[in-house]
A and B are shown apart, each in its own frame.
Chain A
Amino acid sequence: NFMLTQPHSVSESPGKTVTISCTGSSGSIASNYVQWYQQRPGSAPTTVIYEDSLRPSGVPDRFSGSIDSSSNSASLTISGLKTEDEADYYCQSYDSSNHVVFGGGTKLTVL
């Protein structure tokens, strides 16, 4: 089964830059697009990155996404961290049968 692995938690200070990784278990992560969702406590997730590196309207350009085929991983980078960025972040992609697969989620603490 295709799986996406994320670190359980990351932390960084306001104004700094943080990167969250998402590693595919098999095959090439570049074979299917990767999306990133932000979820604040008690709320539904919202999209911050889709199709590896695109931002929906309204998402600040402090959020960026990329793919590294050499490590079979995707990354979400948030620059100029703000306290409001503190949330859980989930990567999402597809397996070979077009089933949706989510990573386990990463808790971002901005301290």
Chain B
Amino acid sequence: QVQLQESGPGLVKPSETLSLTCTVSGGSVSSGSYYWSWIRQPPGKGLEWIGYVYSSGSINYNPSLKSRVTISVDTSKNQFSLKLSSVTAADTAVYYCARDSMAYFDYWGQGTLVTVSS
């Protein structure tokens, strides 16, 4: 059974960089059949796709966040990561990591709330 688990600080100061890691178990980020994705959901609002990384390291980002986002993969640790720079209160959200099977998001992490506040 594939499991994904987000980890990282729950509180980030404005203008700083948000950093999260997703640890994958029961499957390999090296598999060429999946996109490893980040999705966020502000409190009480809808889902917003942030971007994905492929096992080869190729990436695809949401154009509205592209200038601030970096997603990378670490095959040795079976993890992938998200960095979002210059955060503001508008970046407060539950952040999910998810596996995209190229048909649909078939596995999701439980989500982690990141609050941007001084």
In the complex, what's the smallest C-beta–C-beta distance from A22 to chain B, in angstroms? 12
Contact partners of A97 in chain B: CB under 8 A: 60, 63
Contact partners of A105 in chain B: CB under 8 A: 46-47
Contact partners of A47 in chain B: CB under 8 A: 104-106
Number of contact residues on B: which range applies?
Answer: 20 to 34
The stretch among B16-24, B25-33, B108-116 that forms the contact with chain A is B108-116
Cβ-Cβ contact count across A and B, 8 Å cutoff: 54
Contact partners of A103 in chain B: CB under 8 A: 46
Q: How far is the CA of A35 from the CA of B104 in the complex (A)?
A: 7
In the complex, what's the smallest C-beta–C-beta distance from B39 to chain A, in angstroms? 8
B-facing residues in A36-76 (Cβ within 8 Å): 37, 39, 44-47, 50-51, 56
Total residues of chain A contacting the partner, CB 8 A: 23
**Are A44's CB and B110's CB within 8 A?**
yes
**Are A102's CB and B104's CB within 8 A?**
no
Indicate which residue in A44, A51, A56 contacts B111 across the interface (CB closer than 8 Å).
A44
Q: Tell me, yes or no, whether B74 is within 8 Å of chain A by CB.
A: no
**Are A102's CB and B105's CB within 8 A?**
no
Residues of B within 8 A of A (CB): 37, 46-49, 52, 60-63, 96, 98, 100, 103-106, 108-111
